Chain A
């Protein structure tokens, strides 16, 4: 037996399409408005009547003056589920030339999201009468249940909808267009929701963007105190602190990106190779604290006006257009901007500090396609890269923010200081006045008292602010050192693992092959190796432990005293024994604040390297010079030994890089020196020795001011 099987759809399919795909009411309205756009309307009215309560009285009307539909259009297109009917051209006829945006042919099911009953009134310019079609979603539902109760099957394709022709009663004043009248609303609309809708509809087209012929959306909700008015985006962009844009350069085929130049403190145009998601143009508006304050003063209760990045395709918004949630935690964050901010650090921007407008086009960005639920794009490498790209742009804005914040701190401080001086001045003038005119004493007494009080308060305030700034700096410094400790822990763990590998494999060799007289030499070699590796691991562990032992608090010390202590104190006996002549040349004796032990460690390591390098030198010399320049203290440490092997010059500060393996060098000394200098915010570098061409020289640099 054989035959053919057909697909069938249960009557409840409409629920799947309308309520399953269209996730929220604002999205539903947007889908319907989009259809008006495709129908070449110049005006759309979205009217709400008695919608404050859900129930039989509420009505939502979406009416346009577009081309309207014939009975054939309704039958062969509107009522056909699937992708939109094939269009001969991707654009609507002139003068509109609109790129069609309704694509997947599910927009019409959005009405089911809004209410249980839909009446379509439509008329083309050439028609005499208005075509009426009734889609009764609620009745479908009723029928479905009825059939289920009788264990019968009802198919979607069997559902019937009534139509009739009526006289034009003025609902379509232009003589053509379509009105969707939705009743039996599923949910109530409060005023806040309506204002939210207005805001979102205002951004269907990008702000500062005129289309000809126009596409004007009007909103009315008389019962919610909203008279019919043109929906337009509030010009909030004008309040932004800074506006930066970048676009694709068609001539060179390069993509413009945002670039904030720290030196000139300006955004400088910059270009990169074309990205895989295709060309984009972008506008970013950043709002600093003042701008946000001004914004809030002007637009009350509209905290979600500024909401990060929006993407427009062919001039019409695609995502995110309808963030239903007003709570921060539940809000959609399609690009993951906020998520990232919470995960990472303080200087990132959040979506309420900027507006980003990204323009793409269907033709040039074919890989960026809408997800069926309209809330995001289909995940693919191009979209993933676009997300990354947008975040890179936001990070450039963040640089600007960081830079300005620094300025701001300085400004606040100096203002406070000035205010404090001003108040003092007032107080002094008053006292002076009383001195010269004692008769005014009684009258001025309260003013003087108040001025004194104010002086105290202001200087207290200034001090507090300065303290908190210091505290912040201190904390920042602590974070920095913690960060470097983290890197550090990582590097050390890595080092231990490296040292461990051959020791472990050496021991393994013993287990596998011992005893074997033929391998005695190898055994001995590996035993030495295991011993040496464990020694290395011990030193690494000691080094790690030293971080736990060293008093993390900084202390004050004089550089001269420290160098004397190391060169002429701790190492004096060794130098004498090795026959090394040392010389200290201290040009500037400077008092430092920092981790004294760290600097001593650096010197110890340099000395121990020099001792090895001087082993075969008959006239052994070490010279340690210090001098200060504008913002750093420099210590140059030289010997006249064998110098640094040119082979490892580039990598000498890395772990386990040594040329003194025979003298027992484990390749840790310079690594430790570099780490310690980094912990002091300073640096170490190889320079020419004072005994050039002989020997090696190392220059230590310690910043005198906090960078």
Chain B
């Protein structure tokens, strides 16, 4: 299952400075070493791309000066991986056009929040996003793959009925971008289906097994 380490909280926002209380709150909640602030969108992108292996929640501003560069960040990252969670912060929710909202929703922005909401409301959203990341089978699968060494990731791992062979790295790419015939998504769906099937068949046994399992792991 997913590890209990804290996710990276990445703020990409040119209106937030290190001395702001929101950062103070985030430091308390996630630890200063897990909170990263970038006022330059490109620096933010670079950081995220270099840390795709981590669970990342991004607090993203849309307007950088008069340019809506936030969308570029969003597009750039979601192209690389759909497993990064975005919370979009905006000064003026009414000013976000319908089309832009559609784009955010279609590409799974986790939430869109007005920036003068209380820190606790914003933290609650981050918390929700964190839970969401932990609960996602594909997210868990991603973490599990990343626990394997680079060499191991390159070895053939699974063979489909059609005879295609995929390595863990292929599956990882698929999980993030839907490439490789969506083998990653298919695996995640299968795992979920098996889990549900097991649960439905014999609840008591699942409970016992789990208990036994957790004892063993201790």
Residues in B60-107 with C-beta less than 8 Å from chain A: 65-66, 91-92, 95
Known contacts A509-B24, A651-B65: does B119 contact A529 (CB below 8 Å)? no
Contact A497 B91 (CB under 8 A): yes
Contact B118 A505 (CB under 8 A): yes
A493 contacts chain B at the CB level, 8 A cutoff:
yes
Known contacts A508-B120, A650-B65, A651-B65: does B21 contact A497 (CB below 8 Å)? no
Contact A509 B92 (CB under 8 A): no
Known contacts A497-B115, A497-B116, A501-B115: does B20 contact A529 (CB below 8 Å)? yes
Besides A500-B116, A505-B118, A512-B120, 7 more A-B contacts (Cβ < 8 Å) are: A490-B95, A498-B91, A498-B116, A505-B119, A506-B20, A508-B119, A654-B66
Contact of B116 among A501, A512, A529 (CB under 8 A): A501
> Closest chain B residue to A510 by CB distance?
B21
> Closest chain A residue to B116 by CB distance?
A501
Known contacts A498-B91, A654-B66: does B24 contact A522 (CB below 8 Å)? yes
Q: From DSSP, what is the main secondary structure of chain B's interface residues? A: loop
A526 contacts chain B at the CB level, 8 A cutoff:
yes
B25 contacts chain A at the CB level, 8 A cutoff:
yes
Known contacts A497-B92, A509-B25, A651-B65: does B118 contact A502 (CB below 8 Å)? no
B151 contacts chain A at the CB level, 8 A cutoff:
no
**27 interchain pairs (CB within 8 A)?**
A490-B92, A490-B95, A494-B95, A497-B114, A497-B115, A498-B15, A498-B91, A500-B116, A501-B116, A502-B16, A502-B21, A504-B116, A504-B118, A505-B20, A505-B21, A508-B120, A509-B21, A509-B24, A509-B25, A509-B119, A512-B120, A522-B24, A529-B21, A650-B65, A651-B66, A654-B66, A656-B15
C-alpha gap A501/B90 in the complex (Å) = 11
B19 contacts chain A at the CB level, 8 A cutoff:
yes
A435 contacts chain B at the CB level, 8 A cutoff:
no
Contact of B118 among A508, A522, A529, A650 (CB under 8 A): A508
Contacts of B19 in A (CB 8 A): 525, 529
B35 contacts chain A at the CB level, 8 A cutoff:
no
> Closest chain B residue to A496 by CB distance?
B116
- The interface size of chain A toward B, counting residues with CB under 8 Å, comes to 22
Return A300 CB to nearest CB of chain B, in Å. Answer: 46
> Closest chain B residue to A654 by CB distance?
B65
Contact A502 B22 (CB under 8 A): yes
Residues in B1-51 with C-beta less than 8 Å from chain A: 15-16, 19-22, 24-25
B residues near A (Cβ < 8 Å) are 15-16, 19-22, 24-25, 65-66, 91-92, 95, 114-116, 118-120
A residues near B (Cβ < 8 Å) are 490, 493-494, 497-498, 500-502, 504-506, 508-509, 512, 522, 525-526, 529, 650-651, 654, 656
Q: From DSSP, what is the main secondary structure of chain A's interface residues? A: helix
> Closest chain A residue to B64 by CB distance?
A651
Return B109 CB to nearest CB of chain A, in Å. Answer: 20
> Closest chain B residue to A526 by CB distance?
B21
Contacts of A650 in B (CB 8 A): 65
Contacts of B118 in A (CB 8 A): 504-505, 508
Contacts of B115 in A (CB 8 A): 497-498, 501
Contact of B91 among A494, A509, A529 (CB under 8 A): A494
Contacts of A505 in B (CB 8 A): 20-22, 25, 118-119
Contacts of A504 in B (CB 8 A): 116, 118
> Closest chain A residue to B39 by CB distance?
A647
Return A338 CB to nearest CB of chain B, in Å. Answer: 22
Contacts of B24 in A (CB 8 A): 509, 522, 526
C-alpha gap A26/B15 in the complex (Å) = 61
Contacts of B114 in A (CB 8 A): 497
Return A340 CB to nearest CB of chain B, in Å. Answer: 16
> Closest chain B residue to A650 by CB distance?
B65
